[in-house]
Amino acid sequence: MTFTDILATFKEKKILVIGDLVLDRYVWGKVNRISPEAPVPIVEVTHENFLLGGAANVAHNIVSLGGHVTVVGIIGSDRGGDILKKILDEKGILCCVFDDKRPTIVKTRVIAHNQQVVRFDREDNKKVEGKTFDMLVESIKKAIQEHDAVIISDYKKGVISSELISEVIKAARPKKKFVAVDPKTGHFHCYKNVSLITPNLMEASHGSGIEIKDEKSLIKAGKTLLKKLSCKAVLITRGEEGMSLFEKNNFVNIPTVARHVYDVTGAGDTVIAAFTLAYASGATLEEAALIANHAAGIVVGEVGTAVTTPAKIMQSLKDSR
C-alpha cells in the first residue's frame, strides 16, 4: 500500500480508546508587572478555553485523522465533566463514561506571551475498583468486538491497572485486535503481552532498568522491553532526535521532521493515535511509525494540545522526500 492508500483508509477504521480522561483548561493573559505580595508575575487574564486532554485527546486525534472512535473512562458529576462531555459530543466522539464519585481531572495552564507561567491540577488518582471497575470491563468487552484496534492511554490517574489490561488482552486476543499502550513510569509491569508500547526516553529507561545515554544503551533498552513485555513492537520517542522502532528482528531510527518545536503537550497522544490508525489501515509497523513521526512533527509546532489531519501528514511526507 502507498501512504496515500493508508491515509485514505483512516476513515474506514474504528479505534477504541481506554484511559484517563482529562480536561485541559488554558487561561491566557499578559504580564506587565510583578506582584507586590510575592515575587511572582501578575497575569491579566484576557480569555480562557478548554481542550481535550489525556485519553480524550487521543480520541480527538483519531477523529481529526478521519477515523471513528469510542472512548471509555471516568468523569465526575461536576462542571469539568459537563464541559468535557460537551466537547466530546461536539467532536463526534462516542463515549462510554462512568462517574465513581471523584472529580473530573482538570489541568489548568496559565499562559502569558506564549509562555506557561504555572499549571495546577485537580484530580483524584486512586485506583478504580469495585462496581465501577466491573462496569468499565463490561463496556470494554462489548466495544472491542466492534473496533479495529485498541489504544490504552495511561496517565496513571486510576483507570489503568494490571487487572484492567489483563481483561483488555483477554478480550482482544481471540479477535486478533492490535492493542497499543502509551505507558507511564511505574506501570510497566502492567503492560505484558500488549502489541505496542510508545514510551519516551525517560519512560523507556525506567521501564527497562537501563540508563539510555547513547545508541548502544538505547538498543539494549528497546530489546529489553520487547523481551520483558512480550510485545510485538516498542516505539521509543526521542524528542528532537525523532523515534526508534524495535521489532523482534528489526530496529530502525526515524529522524524528526519537526521544523519548530513550540509545545510538546499531547505529542505522545498524536504518536499513538496516528500509529495505531495507520497500522489498522494496512501499514507495516515501520510505515506506521513514519506516519506517526510526521504527525508529531506537525503538532509540536503549535501551542497547546494540537491535532493534525491526513492532508497535512501527506504534505509533510511529500516535503520530506
Judge whether 15 and 148 are in contact, CB under 8 Å.
yes
Cell of 154: 495511561
Cell of 139: 463496556
Cell of 266: 499531547
Exposure of 260 by Cβ count < 10 A (0-12 exposed, 13-18 middle, 19+ buried)? exposed
Active-site residue (options: 134, 154, 269, 319): 269
Judge whether 105 and 123 are in contact, CB under 8 Å.
yes
Q: Is 270 helix (H, G, I), strand (E, B) or coil?
A: helix
Concatenated DSSP letters of 52-93: EEEHHHHHHHHHHTT-EEEEEEE--SSHHHHHHHHHHHHTT-
Interatomic CA distance for residues 6 and 137, integer angstroms: 31
| Residue 98 Rama label (left phi>0; alpha psi -120 to 50; beta) | beta
148 is catalytic: no
214 Cβ neighbours under 8 A, 6+ residues apart: none
Return the active site residues: 269
